[in-house]
A and B are shown apart, each in its own frame.
Chain A
Amino acid sequence: MSNYDIAIIGAGHNGLACAAYLAKAGRKVLVLEANDEVGGLAATREFAPGFRASVAQTLPQLNRGLVDDLNLEKHGFKLALDAMPTVAMAPGKSPISITSGALSGASAEDSAAYPEYRRLLSKFADAINPFWHKRPPMIADGDMGDLATLGKFGWNLRRLGKDDMRELMRMIALPAQDLMDEFFQDDALKAALSWDCNIGSKLAPRSPNNAVLALLLRMSGDLTDGLPLPAGGAGGFTDALAASATSFGAEIRCGAAVEKVLIDDMSVSGVQLSNGEQVQATTVISNADPKTSFLTLLGAQHLDVQFTHRISRLRNQGYVAKLHLALDEIPTFTGLEKPAGRLMLTPSMKYIECAFDDAKYGGYANELPMEVIIPSLVDDSLAPVGKHVLSANIQYAPYAVKGGWDQHREQFLANALATLSQYSPGIESQVSAAELLTPADLEQQFNLAGGHWHHAEFAIDTWWMNRPTYGASQYTTPISGFHLCGAGAHPGGGLMGTCGANAARAILEDR
């Protein structure tokens, strides 16, 4: 039995960030990761001999603050590309390239509308950004820190100016479709821009809920002016996090699955690994998803009835599948000189909505909306010389597909390849290996119940002081010494390390 101040369950990027901040503050920290490598959904893994990819791969949410605090650049973190353009594609139409500054290839009207769209949304994103990085306030407790956070939130909205504040209040719960229809005309452009509102959630362009807020979260990074692509896949980022945590004195053990959190007299006393080994710690922080953390690792017998019910009701079924293809050569995409950038194979919002309709009832579309990147174009660490990796997010792949994924895997993959070949005729013949990760695979391979991008739906009912639910939303839980630091905590999913950093700060403040 070994002794630590703090044991962290999971070396996802949030667990690592949390460990680094706590170790930096002098705590004796042990990180226990079930898998054989660190990084969680961000780990870069070899999926075919010589071909590597990470499930998550771009860094739109990462902030310079974290990179600097943890000296990540010193530990090897670098970008393969500062700002990757997004390319709106539709069969038979010429692509539209989108950067943070401008559109190219779009109509005059859409091009004229784009700067105002960017101005408004960037302004909103900036106003809200500080709150992603703070502990959510609790209403009605009268805590001074909480009141200050709420006050500052109100003030930041007010500071937008009367007109823009009213616009934010009006737009905040709009479905993505309404937002896009207000600004643009081109179907493919609107679909491409709507993607970041809904990706990862059980939402489609016509769904009202948190689409705009999710978009603002996606816009919260400030690393570069565009969409950054890390070198070495997202694993490049998490390896640097692990090196940073280690340099501050944290210990990281892989292949160490935690089976349960040990409780002694209502407080945490440590964890037990699946091999029976026990580790003593007075603070245990879970990077696992909330359902796993509370219902499996802790157990309902330690929790109140209504709290347990709220946790068990969290919507955590993922709808995104990930596809990795090993390609013999650079594929040709119709209308593009080179398939650089983030290629949005989403001809219209209706196309996305129809795919969602299938998924709602446990099926999936023949023509699948896809977000495609070929990172090996700018990063030769990912594929053998001359060969390439294609990496795609595919919506919608329901976790609970009717009949189970075993019987649908081949068909889904065939649909994805058929969709791809509409844009890149003949691409199938260039594929030497394919890895399809459905939400069920993500669940199994990353110890993530439901295989959800955000660990638990990022929606109005599970946002801010309700993330993952009240009673566990301030990086504290009903169990003294037990904390959450994963994507199921505030602010949510995406590579930014903020759940981990916020949790570390909250734990240090409370001592």
Chain B
Amino acid sequence: MPMQTNLQAADTIDHVHEGVIYSPFHRRTSAKNINQQWSVWNGYASTKYYADAHLEYFSTRNTCGVFDVSPMRKYRIKGPDAEAMLNRMVTRDVTSQAVDTVAYNIWCTDAGKLIDDGTLFRVSEDDFWLCAADPNFDWLQLSAVGFPNLEITDISEDLASLALQGPTSCALLKAMGFSGIENATPFSIMRFPFGAGEITISRTGYTGDLGYELWVDPADAELLWDQLFSVGQVYGIQPLGEDSLEMARIEAGFLAPDVDFHGSLHTVDRGHDHSPLELALGWIINFKKGHFSGRAALAKEKAAGKHRRLIKLDIEGNKPAENSILYCDKGCKKTIGYVTSAMWSPVVKANIAYGLVEGQYADGPIWAEIYHQKELRWVRKLAQCTRVTKPFWAPERARQTPPSDC
């Protein structure tokens, strides 16, 4: 069986889409987007904030919030060679991933540079979904060379998906009739009858809190939204825009492509891409599982130990260290790196940031050069940074099964 990639045939495409694309939830999201604040994600209209980014953010920590993840790119890899092909592409051990579980994964170039990250769903022995924020069809096809017995399909349009995140998310799903959902362990998958077909619920998310992602046929998208918001009223449900999600993900310790790292296939200059070791993703590189793409380069880099390091910083004061340059001395004589993401964290009540620094300075003193405005006047400030090794935000309920109030 020759490797098959299911793309729309060129002669069946009668026009090139111009302008923004609408998610299956658009009529609902648009109605709630009272200020019509949109950004564009993979060509789709994606809400920046519905009413107030901070209020929305707080729902992920105190009640629950819903984010439309339909613009994510989703691929189905199916066939007898699917496991071997994916195992050779990603850094974690796919052979030991159980059916109906999800694993956060990354994939690298031959040189061991990060291309992208995403979640790998094993829906059956030989059937996988790969979900990523950015398109990856090309890399999947390249990675399938030499693995003839599989089929790759872009299923992005076949699934409408919502992320439901926050402490009341489990209770809400239960109240909607998905009984047993409380028994879903982190990174597991469950299915329930829904609408005309089925809903897939995975205990996954991008906020670091208790949360789920819901996957349905686009025809059932509005039904799902409406049920969530009618039953969810008493669970404090809020729609989430990108701005609030960005805050939650920084606290949770998730990386954002094109913010914390540039995918290696998109960088131009030497050294502007990143190895996963630099990005503190060493924990998902499985050097024991056998070969995977980039392994030799990563093993070499790890042994040399000279790579840059993305570290978590707790910074004095309350001025977010956005775009700051980092130094190893208060006199700013030696630049050692820069801040990739920064915020004042409302739950942690700390001024937190990620700094990418040269390896040899990771454990020494670090100073951030912060520019901030006081009524339009720019002020420069040097703030001492403390390296933090524990996650900023990792509540017990995110790991509990069943979650405490369910």
Contacts and interface: CB of A to CB of B under 8 A. Distances in A.
Nearest to B143: A305
B110 A300 contact: no
Nearest to A312: B145
A305 B291 contact: no
B89 interface: yes
Query: Which of A263, A304, A307 counts the most chain B CB atoms within 10 A?
Result: A304
Contacts of B145: 300, 305, 308-309, 312
B10 interface: no
Interface in A287-302: 295, 299-302
A306 B142 contact: yes
Q: Is the interface of A mostly helix, strand, loop or mixed?
A: helix
B84 interface: yes
B87 A301 contact: yes
B109 A303 contact: no
Interface of A: 263, 266, 295, 299-309, 312, 471, 478
B41 to A, nearest CB: 26
B88 A301 contact: yes
Interface in B74-125: 84-85, 87-89, 109-110
B302 to A, nearest CB: 14
Contacts of A301: 84-85, 87-88, 146-147, 290-291
B142 A300 contact: no
A305 B293 CA distance: 6
B291 A303 contact: yes
A307 B147 contact: no
A264 to B, nearest CB: 10
Given A266-B291, A301-B84, A301-B88, A306 B146 contact: no
Nearest to B84: A301
Contacts of A302: 291
Contacts of A312: 145-146
B294 interface: yes
A193 B335 CA distance: 65
A471 B146 CA distance: 18
Contact of B294 (A300, A304, A308, A309): A304
Contacts of B84: 301
Contacts of B146: 295, 299-301, 303, 308, 312
A299 B150 CA distance: 15
A304 to B, nearest CB: 4
A295 B87 CA distance: 17
A309 B142 CA distance: 7
B109 A305 contact: yes
A306 B147 contact: no
B203 to A, nearest CB: 30
A300 B147 contact: yes
Contacts of B291: 263, 266, 301-303
B296 A305 contact: no
Contacts of A266: 290-291, 295-296
Nearest to A300: B146
Contacts of A305: 88-89, 109-110, 139, 142-143, 145, 293
B319 to A, nearest CB: 43
Contacts of A303: 146, 291
Nearest to A296: B146
Nearest to B89: A305
Interface in B150-208: none
Given A305-B293, A306-B109, 8 more contacts: A266-B291, A301-B84, A301-B88, A301-B147, A303-B146, A305-B110, A307-B110, A312-B145
Contacts of A304: 109-110, 293-296
9 contacts: A299-B146, A301-B88, A301-B290, A301-B291, A302-B291, A304-B295, A304-B296, A308-B145, A309-B145
B88 to A, nearest CB: 5
Contacts of B88: 300-301, 305
Nearest to B297: A304
A361 to B, nearest CB: 21
A478 B142 contact: no
A312 B141 CA distance: 13
Contacts of A295: 146
Nearest to B147: A300
Interface in B283-327: 290-291, 293-296
Interface string B207-235: 00000000000000000000000000000
A92 B142 CA distance: 55
A469 to B, nearest CB: 12
A443 B290 CA distance: 32
A82 to B, nearest CB: 47
Nearest to B146: A300
A167 B89 CA distance: 48
A138 B209 CA distance: 51
A95 B87 CA distance: 63
A312 B143 CA distance: 12
Q: Which 5 A-B pairs have the closest CB atoms?
A: A300-B146, A304-B110, A305-B293, A306-B110, A304-B293
A260 to B, nearest CB: 13
Query: Which of B89, B142, B145, B295 counts the most chain A CB atoms within 10 A?
Result: B145
A299 B295 CA distance: 16
A295 B3 CA distance: 14
A171 B85 CA distance: 45
B219 to A, nearest CB: 36
A447 B109 CA distance: 32
A165 to B, nearest CB: 33
Contacts of A478: 296
Contacts of B296: 266, 304, 478
Nearest to B112: A304
A473 to B, nearest CB: 15
B300 to A, nearest CB: 12
A400 to B, nearest CB: 15
A282 B307 CA distance: 32
A7 to B, nearest CB: 21
Contacts of A299: 146
Contacts of B293: 304-306
Query: Which of B89, B139, B143 counts the most chain A CB atoms within 10 A?
Result: B143
A291 to B, nearest CB: 10
B5 to A, nearest CB: 14
A118 to B, nearest CB: 45
B21 to A, nearest CB: 30
A343 to B, nearest CB: 43
A295 B84 CA distance: 14
Nearest to A265: B290
Contacts of B87: 301
Interface in B309-367: none
A305 B85 CA distance: 10
